[in-house]
A = this chain, B = another copy of it.
């Protein structure tokens, strides 16, 4: 089976390599063409456009930065829609707007090309190890056709609903990350200012109702005031804005997410956008003289 992978960034490149490793024929395209070399060295075929990459592919995976990028590679000049064959499936693994996703799926559907939205969590480490969590929206029968391919990329594949639902689920993930990390940062700030033994504090509260992945895995960063990646704060803000736009559209109020988005804007302004999301703690530390 031929698979196209369009977008060879931190996530797309290791995904392409895992597909090659699993024995698939893989055609790749990246806007900055030099990034294709790492995949071609391992047997991928380079294509000079998304259109060319999509020709003859049963599954076309896109993994780019944001809604306009996905729109460009699917609908733009020399886009996927001009090369993909009827009956093929576009699987967009970028994190983008659910509304844009539905629009793209509609356009592809008119050419008998199916689409799934399949954003991921698990970071670059998950992409490399093939252990991503993949949140899939779209037709269940289409998912079953591409499940063997997705199984190479992720260890958890969850079908959450119709087209766009994968993106909404990723938005939910980022909303919860925002508030949970912020909550941990508020709690830790009180203990830091009071001079408590913070390792003991984390141990004392981590086993009960205050426990979270953020507390277990990011409190160390917040206590040390040092925020190695992880997941970039500026990308988390991008995702939160997708969530806030979707919530506005649906009529859902997200006051804490909106607040955290503003604090992230302040941190990006100060040059902290390429730190891990847990750098949110800087905001409370600054305001509290810590």
Which A residues from 137 to 194 make CB contacts under 8 A with B?
A: 156, 158-161, 165, 168-169, 171-180, 182-184, 186-191, 193-194
- Measured between beta carbons, the chain B residues less than 8 angstroms from A178 are 183
A100 contacts partner chain B, Cβ-Cβ < 8 Å: no
Residues A218-270 near B (CB distance < 8 A): 231, 243, 246-247, 250-257, 259
A38 adjacent to chain B (CB < 8 Å) = no
Contact, CB under 8 Å: A180 / B133: no
With the chains together, A290 CA to B250 CA distance in Å?
A: 11
Complex interface: chain B residues within 8 A of A174 (CB):
210
Q: Is A205 an interface residue (CB 8 A)?
A: yes
User: Which A residues between 188 and 213 are near B, CB-CB below 8 angstroms?
Assistant: 188-191, 193-197, 200-201, 203-205, 207-213
Contact check, B161 vs A196: say whether CB atoms are below 8 A apart.
Answer: yes
* Alpha-carbon separation in the docked complex, A178 to B121 (Å): 25
Contact check: which of B159, B190, B256 meets A243 at CB < 8 Å? B190
Do residues B165 and A196 form an inter-chain contact, with CB atoms below 8 A? yes
Task: Count copies of this chain in the complex.
Answer: 2
Interface residues on A, range: 35 or more
**Residues in chain B near residue A217, CB distance under 8 A:** 209
Per a CB cutoff under 8 Å, which of B190, B287, B290 touches A172?
A: B190
Complex Cα spacing A288 to B17, Å: 44
Question: A105 within 8 Å of B by Cβ?
Answer: no
Are A253's CB and B214's CB within 8 A?
no
Q: Is A16 an interface residue (CB 8 A)?
A: no
A284 within 8 A of B: yes
Question: Known contacts being A209-B214, A209-B231, A213-B209, is A254 close to B173, with CB within 8 Å?
Answer: no
Contact A175 B171 (CB under 8 A): no
A64 at the binding interface (Cβ < 8 Å): no
- With A197-B161, A203-B158, A256-B179 known as contacts, the answer to whether A173 contacts B210 (CB < 8 A) is yes
The complex places the Cα of A174 from the Cα of B186 at a distance, in Å, of 11
Alpha-carbon gap, A289 to B252, bound state (A)? 8
List chain B residues, Cβ under 8 A from A190. 168, 171-172, 175, 243, 246-247, 250, 252, 254
Tell me whether A252 and B207 are in contact (CB under 8 A).
no
The CA of A183 and the CA of B208, in the complex, are separated in Å by 17
A122 adjacent to chain B (CB < 8 Å): yes
Q: When the two chains form their complex, are residues B211 and A158 in contact, meaning their CB atoms are under 8 A apart?
A: no
Interface-centre pick from A180, A215, A254 (highest chain B CB count, 10 A): A180
Shortest 8 CB-CB distances between A and B: which pairs?
A: A179-B183, A212-B212, A158-B204, A176-B210, A172-B187, A176-B187, A211-B213, A175-B187
Give 10 A-B pairs besides A160-B201, A168-B196, A173-B205 with Cβ atoms closer than 8 angstroms: A121-B205, A121-B208, A121-B209, A160-B204, A176-B184, A176-B212, A180-B184, A186-B255, A186-B257, A194-B246
